[in-house]
Structure 1
Amino acid sequence: MLKQFFIVCSGADTAILESCSNGEQNKYAGIGATVFFTAIMATIAASYALYTVFDNYYTAAIFGIIWGLLIFNLDRFIVSTIKKRNSVIDEFIQALPRIILAVIIAVVISKPLELKIFQKEIDQVLLEEKNAMTLNNQTQIAEQYTPKVEGLNNDIAVLQNQVIQKETEVNALYDTYISEAEGTAGTKLLGKGPVYKEKREKHDAALAELNALKAENKSKIATIEAEILQLNSNYANKVATTQPIIDGFDGLMARVNALDKLPWLPSFFIFLLFLAIETSPIFAKLLSPKGEYDYKLEDSETAIKTWVEQKVNERKILLTTDRDINNRVYNDIAEEDDLYNYKRKKARELMQHQADAFINHQKNVL
């Protein structure tokens, strides 16, 4: 039962192969088994690749099975269409397009399995890329907010400097009127005279201006700090919003690119393995000598070809003979006087009708 199934997978003519030896049947059963298991590997590879795209088991499994059936049909077609010739060069030319197609299929099958085999290494590469992308993303977003924050901090510094300068001025006035009272500066008269009162009033006026400036600048600084907090909050929200996009950077294309950054030799050997599996049925048919099945298949095909050619030749001869007979018949008829006189009479009538019709038409025009 299993042997018959693999023979069907090989694409061989089961009716012809049943009349062949057991060894010939085993050869084609082996070719069919290779075709079948290649399709199984293609199904697994496609299912994994599509799972990384759709992130759904059922969708990946359904499309994976469809892809496996497609690969199975292609491989079966490739193997079944290779015919043994009497020339090795003719056989190779016949198989060359099929070998190229087998190479393409091997690449398509091997790549998803490479992604699965080297999943841990690929995850490490993706993690490094995600970290770098996170830092770059934060830097790019910060470039949108940093100039505004720095400008607001400069405004706060300007307001604070105004207060400091005013405090320095008030402190200087305080030292002036205290020194006047102590007699260490100014008039150098000890006591609180008119000059002292004047300097004290000037200091008190400056102190009132300082207190008003402090209150005003404190309100302005509070407003600016609230604006800075809002900008920082917007920055944090923007980072939090864009981070899931970076975290989701693990699709099929990202993994293929990450695989390309790993050492190429292990991936190359996996590709060679699948290339050998995919092309082994083709080379098995090319390298094997012409067997019993090949002779019987050639006999069946040439018998049909000969029969068709005979039918075509018979039709050509029949056509030629029929044409010659018709020519002789019409030549004999052409020599009969009765047929000539009858046709001459009808031609005369036709010309008379044409002349009458022309005259009637001209009368209508006039």
Structure 2
Amino acid sequence: MLQRFFIFCSGADTDILKDCSSGENTKYAGIGATVFFTAVMATIAGAYALFTVFDNVFTAIFFGMIWGLLIFNLDRFIVSTIKKRENFFDELIQASPRILLAVIIAIVISKPLEMKIFEKEINQVLLEEKNELTLQNKDQLALQFTPAVQALESDIETLKQEVVTKESEVNALYDTYIAEAEGRAGTELLGKGPVYKEKRDKHDAALAELKTLKETNSEKIEAIESQIGTLATEYQTKVAETQPIIDGFDGLMARITALNKLPWLPSFFIFLLFLAIETSPIIAKLLSPKGAYDLKLAEQEGAVTSWVAQQKMQRDVLVTTDRDVNNRVYADIAEEQELYEYKRKIARELMQLQADAFYKKQKGVL
């Protein structure tokens, strides 16, 4: 039962194999087993690759099975269409397009399994790339808010500087009226005279202005700091909104790119393994000697080719003979006087009818 299934997988003609030895049956069962297990590996690889895309187990299994059936059909077709010839190089030339197709299939099959085998290393590469993308994203978003924040901070510094300047002015007026009272400057008279009172009033007025300026600028600074806080909140919101996109940067293309950043030698050996598996049915078919199955298949195909050629030749002879007979028959008829007189009479009647019809038409126009 299992042997018959593997023979079916090999694409061999079971009717011909029935009349062959058990060795021939075993050979084609082995080729069919290779085709079957290659399709199984393709199903696993395709399911995993599609799982990284859809992130759904049932969808991945469904499309993975379709992919496996497609590979099975291609391999079965490739093996079944290779015919044994007298010259090995003729067979190799015949199989070269199929070997190229097998190489392409091996690449497609091996890549998803490479991603699964090196999953931890790929995750490490993706983590580093995500961290780098996160930093770049924050820097790019900061460029949108930094100019506005810097302008607001500059406004705060300006308001603070106004207070400092006013404080310096008030301190200077304070030193002036104190020096006047002590007789160290101004009139140099000790005591609180009219000049002292004038300078004291000027200081008190400036002190009141300083107090008002501090209150006003403090309110302005609070308002500006509130704007800076709002911008900081918007910046954090933008970062939070864009972070899921970066966190989701682990699709099929991202993983293939990360795989290509790993050392190439392990991936190359895995590719060679799948290439060997994929091309093994073809290589086995090429290296195996011509057996009873190949001879009987060639005989059957030769018989069909001969029968088709014979039928075509008979049809060509039939057409040629029929044409010659028809030519002789019509040549004999053309020489009969009775047929000539009959056609002449019919032609005269036809021309009379045409003349009558033309006359009636012209008369109607007039």
TM-score range for the pair, normalised by the shorter chain length: over 0.9
Residue 190 of structure 1, CA deviation? 1.6
| Aligned residue number for residue 175 of structure 1 | 175
Indicate the residue corresponding to 1:362 in structure 2. Answer: 362
Percent identical pairs in the alignment equals: 72
Q: Distance in 2 between matches of 1:48 and 1:204?
A: 83
SS at 2:83's partner residue? coil
Matched with 1:131 is 131
Distance (Å, rounded) in 2 between the aligned partners of 1:265 and 1:304: 51
Name the residue aligned to 1:335.
Answer: 335
Aligned residues: 366
Cα gap change, 1:338 to 1:71, in 2 (>3 Å): same
Once the two structures are superposed, residues 160-191 of structure 1 have per-residue CA deviations (whole angstroms, 9 ceiling, x without a partner) of 01001101110111111112112222222121
**1:47 shift after superposition:** 0.5
1:4 maps to what in 2? 4
Cα offset for 1:359? 2.8
Aligned twin of 2:201: 201
What corresponds to 2:68 in structure 1?
68
Partner of 1:254: 254
**Deviation of residue 202 (structure 1)?**
0.3
Q: Name the CA distance, whole Å, in 2 between partners of 1:287 and 1:363.
A: 93
1:173-322 mapped onto 2 (5 Å cutoff): 173-322=173-322
Which whole-Å CA distance do the structure 2 matches of 1:81 and 1:364 have between them? 77
Q: Distance in 2 between matches of 1:5 and 1:113?
A: 27
Distance 1:160 1:26 in 2: 95
Query: How much has 1:349 moved relative to structure 2?
Result: 1.1
CA distance in 2, matches of 1:272, 1:221: 70
Structure 1 Cα separation of the partners of residues 347 and 287 of structure 2: 77
Please report the TM-score for the alignment, with normalisation by the length of structure 2.
0.98
| 3-state SS of paired residue (2:186) | coil
Deviation at 1:358, TM superposition (A): 2.7
Quote the Cα distance in structure 2 between the aligned partners of 1:365 and 1:289: 91
| Structure 1 residue 73 displacement after superposition | 0.3
How far 1:88 moved relative to its partner? 2.5
The CA distance in 1 between the partners of 2:106 and 2:314, in whole Å, is 49
Amino acid at match of 1:214: K
Equivalent position SS for 1:31: helix
Deviation of 1:348 (Å)? 1.4
Q: Could you say which residue in structure 1 is the equivalent of 2:90?
A: 90
2:13 corresponds in structure 1 to: 13
Q: Secondary structure at the match of 1:228?
A: helix
- Larger mean Cα displacement after TM superposition, 153-162 or 184-193: 184-193
Equivalent-residue separation in structure 1 for 2:328 and 2:200 (angstroms): 150
* Between 299-308 and 192-201, the greater mean CA deviation after superposition: 299-308
Unaligned 5+ runs, structure 2:
none
